[in-house]
Chain A
Amino acid sequence: MTRVRVTAPLSAARPATLSREAAEESEVGQLFVRSLIRTQLRLAIVVAGGFLLILCAFPLLLAAVPGLAGARVAGIPFDWLLLGAGIYPVIGLSAWLYVRTAARNEVRYRDLAEDK
């Protein structure tokens, strides 16, 4: 078996850091960075808040609609199905939405930072 020597690839070696450094130095660059951070934070809070609302809605729904918790779907009690399986797709969907939007925000930031 051949031994592969793996060395640490430092992101500093990449040309893209030119724009990172430019962004750090100038005042306009800092403005863009601040706005990127604000956008990403707002996105994270909106996604987290939305998810928590849905999470709270599940037990409230079970409490509000009488008989719902005891109903059975394919032999499994509905409250178990909702809390034990139904929440996971909501988590996955929130995560997917976030990853997509966060990447788009970064593309937009890069366009701004490199155009100036």
Chain B
Amino acid sequence: MNPAVGLVALVVVSVATAVIGFYGLRISRTTGDFYVASRTVPPWWNASAIGGEYLSAASFLGVAGLILLSGTDALWFPVGYTAGYLMLLLFVAAPLRRSGAYTIPDFTEARLDSRAVRRVTSVVVVVVGWLYIVPQLHGAALTIRITTGLPAWVGSVAVVVVVCLTVVAGGMRSITFVQAFQYWLKLTALAVPVLFIVFALMGNGSAAVAPAAVNPTGIAAAGPYQNISLLVALLFGTLGLPHVLVRFYTNPDGQSARRTTLIVLGLLSVFYLFPTAYGLIGRMFAPELARSGQADAVVLLLPGQLIGGTAGDLLSALVVAGAFAAFLSTTSGLVVSLAGVISQDVLGGSVRGFRLAAVISAVVPLGFAFTTDSLALAGSVGLVFAFTASTVCPVLLLGIWWRGLTDTGAIAGMVTGGVLCGGAMVSGSVLGAAGTPFWLAQPAAWTVPAAFAVMVVVSRATKRRVPRTMARVMTRLHTPERPLVTER
């Protein structure tokens, strides 16, 4: 691929992101604007922004790569990512918006009336956020290395710098503009090249190199346990992701939070058709990409390989732009939500503290990214989902729906889930991909039930600690805010 193509695409996306960010700065003036855009974003914008933020390196590059490697087994990834939003809609969206809290720690503190729970939740949220930023930076490093030939670290550093600039400048308000733009950029960047490729393949009548069912590598297919465990992680992990949750506070009320989620589901469903198409086309027409260890780059390489020439270069530039939009949007969403948590808990909640916290939240994972190797992108993000599903998810679900939850139970459950799942992740990376037993490689199927069980049992044992404010908080979470338009 022509190295200039990748660079131009990178610069254009970064500049566009910064410009929209600064445009947003003009209307972001209050502290509320900084944290949650003052909850005044209309559903379509908000839904595009949620989609833009959610579709990360794993979705843009990783899903297609994994499908190329493991075929129909990997189709559970996009399905799980989308169905996770269904679970979010069913169990979390409206009550969380009605809680009126800014961040997940705000929510747990209000619900359980306990500073200790708040601190534990904050730690968990920051860990989740950092773990999730690292694969984004790995994705950026991979993209820069493959498309421009520059050293890989340039990609990670570029992402961190652009994110810091936009977040420090405008906070959540400008981020909402940026994210909404980036959803549509990502969709275009995947859809246009894939359509061109399909037409080109049909036009010149080229025959498939291999049938879709043939495994291009010697890696064994996943068994039913792995698929189920993965689905558990994705279904329950989504509803605990900090950058996803903070988005719901930008809806005016609970009912509009639900409508927004409905639109998001539509946007995600349309989006995931395209990585799936890349994976399928890659498997049939370019299976050698899987063997050369470049599976994660299949989305970047396919247009150049199957079309070539100037058209191939232009389409590659579009894909690279989309990929950078993915790294930038997810990272900035995570940085905003982490900065919200860190600044409120450590730095007093001022706008200045928020800016400082934003820089901290972006630079620390950069250090992690330099010191760790990139695994398969979709796989490492899958582990982050498993961690979220074992920690934040139980406290949210039980906090919203069960009156018996106590602060002691919540802390015990979060610690259990965090230690079990974190332990599995650490031992998995120590043992290496080949030496890890399957139940350690995909821990969600046992860590999530364990966290729920500990939370319920300990809460039962400490019944006296159910907070006195419980009835009032539960009422607030579940009753509608204002007279509904008659929909009978």
Residues of A within 8 A of B (CB): 1, 3-9, 11, 14, 16-17, 20, 23-24, 29-30, 33, 36-37, 40-41, 44, 47-48, 51, 55, 70, 76-77, 79-80, 83-85, 87-89, 91-92, 94-96, 98-99, 102-104, 106-107, 109-110, 113
Contact = CB atoms under 8 A, between A and B. Distances in A.
A109 B488 contact: no
A37 B478 contact: yes
A88 B75 contact: no
Contacts of B475: 20, 23-24, 29-30, 33
Contacts, number: 149
B479 A55 contact: no
Contacts of B75: 80, 83-84
Contacts of B91: 44, 48
B86 interface: yes
Interface of B: 26-27, 29-30, 32-33, 38-40, 72, 75-76, 78-79, 82-83, 86-87, 89-91, 94, 100, 173, 212-213, 231, 252-253, 255, 258-259, 261-262, 265-266, 269, 272-273, 276, 280, 401, 471-472, 474-476, 478-484, 486-488
Given A92-B269, A106-B480, 9 more contacts: A6-B27, A6-B29, A80-B212, A84-B276, A91-B82, A91-B269, A102-B258, A104-B487, A107-B484
Contacts of A96: 262
B272 A88 contact: yes
A9 B38 CA distance: 8
8 contacts: A5-B30, A23-B475, A41-B401, A55-B83, A77-B213, A79-B72, A91-B86, A98-B89
A1 B258 CA distance: 34
A6 B40 contact: yes
B27 A107 contact: no
A24 to B, nearest CB: 5
Given A16-B481, A80-B72, A8 B90 contact: no
A51 B30 contact: no
In this complex, the member of B29, B173, B479 whose beta carbon has the largest number of chain A beta carbons within 10 angstroms is B479
Question: Which 5 interchain pairs have the tightest Cβ spacing?
Answer: A88-B269, A44-B90, A16-B482, A8-B32, A84-B276
A30 B259 CA distance: 27
Contacts of B29: 3, 5-6
Given A88-B82, A88-B272, A99-B258, A16 B38 contact: no
Nearest to A32: B479
A93 to B, nearest CB: 10
A86 to B, nearest CB: 10
A50 B353 CA distance: 46
In this complex, the member of A47, A77, A84 whose beta carbon has the largest number of chain B beta carbons within 10 angstroms is A84
Contacts of B78: 84
Given A33-B478, A103-B487, A104-B487, A77 B212 contact: yes
| Interface of B (DSSP majority class) | helix
A110 B480 contact: yes
A107 B482 CA distance: 10
A44 B89 CA distance: 9
A48 B83 CA distance: 10
A38 B312 CA distance: 56
A95 B255 CA distance: 13
B484 A11 contact: no
Given A24-B475, A36-B479, A99-B258, A91 B40 contact: no
Given A3-B26, A84-B273, A107 B38 contact: no
A19 to B, nearest CB: 8
B482 A102 contact: no
A9 B41 CA distance: 12
A25 to B, nearest CB: 9
In this complex, the member of B30, B475, B483 whose beta carbon has the largest number of chain A beta carbons within 10 angstroms is B475
B482 A95 contact: no
A33 B474 contact: yes
Contacts of B484: 103, 106-107, 110
Contacts of A41: 401
B474 to A, nearest CB: 7
B183 to A, nearest CB: 17
B89 A36 contact: no
Nearest to A29: B475
A32 B387 CA distance: 36
A37 B401 contact: yes
